[in-house]
Amino acid sequence: MTVTVKGQKAAEVSTPVPLFEAHLLNGPTVSTGFRAQYEPTRDGRRFLMNVALEETKASPITVALNWAEAFKK
Pairing of strands 12-13, 47-49: unpaired
The answer to whether position 43 is within a domain reads yes
Residue 33 belongs to domain spanning? 21-55
Q: What is the pLDDT of residue 69?
A: 85
Q: pTM for this one?
A: 0.42
The answer to whether position 71 is within a domain reads no
Provide the number of structural domains found in the chain. Answer: 1
pLDDT digits (tens, 9 = 90+) for 4-59: 999 888 889 999 998 888 777 665 555 555 667 788 899 989 988 877 777 777 78
The answer to whether position 3 is within a domain reads no
Pairing of strands 38-40, 5-6: unpaired
The answer to whether position 45 is within a domain reads yes
49: burial class by Cβ within 10 Å (0-12, 13-18, 19+)?
middle
